[in-house]
């Protein structure tokens, strides 16, 4: 997160240079100036982002390894990080999707189904 960038930079090993990336490089582009303000080392943007790196067939690390800060700014599915299996979430979604039809059959609820 941008507000925690200074602390995040202190957590990673010192480097001769920093290369910033994200999926497409569009978001990482905004962080370059912020990182440059926090270090006297050169800061680069990986052109095309991680997608270009993958397309070039270059090696990758898997999982959330060596993160400077936890990934709290990403969408998490409702069942992630819980003991609830994916199937339980799907069962809930199936029930919810059928709710309008169920209300249509039930004449006692008083709701107007759009």
Are residues 55 and 95 both part of a single domain?
no
Query: Tens of pLDDT along 38-85?
Result: 999 999 999 999 999 999 999 998 887 777 887 777 777 776 777 778
- What burial letters (b/e) apply to 54-90, b meaning 16+ CB within 10 Å? eeeeeeeeeeeeeeeeeeeeeeeeeeeeeeeeeeeee
- Higher per-residue pLDDT: 64 or 6: 6
Average pLDDT over residues 88-94: 86
In this prediction, residue 37 carries a pLDDT of: 96
- Taking all residues of the chain, what is their mean pLDDT, rounded to a whole number? 86
Are residues 7 and 56 both part of a single domain?
yes
Q: Percentage of the chain surpassing pLDDT 70?
A: 97
Are residues 25 and 56 both part of a single domain?
yes
Domain of 35 in residue numbering reads as 1-61+68-74
65 vs 63: CA distance, rounded Å: 6
């Amino acid at each position: 997160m941008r507000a925690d960038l200074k602390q995040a930079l202190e957590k990673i090993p010192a480097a001769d240079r920093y290369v910033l990336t994200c999926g497409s490089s569009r978001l990482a582009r905004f962080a370059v100036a912020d990182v440059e303000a926090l270090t006297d080392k050169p800061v680069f943007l990986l052109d095309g982002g991680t997608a270009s790196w993958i397309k070039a067939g270059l090696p990758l690390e898997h999982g959330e390894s060596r993160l400077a800060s936890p990934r709290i700014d990403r969408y998490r599915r409702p069942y992630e990080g819980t003991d609830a299996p994916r199937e339980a979430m799907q069962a809930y979604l199936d029930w919810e999707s059928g709710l309008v039809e169920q209300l249509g059959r039930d004449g006692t609820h008083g709701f107007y189904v759009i």
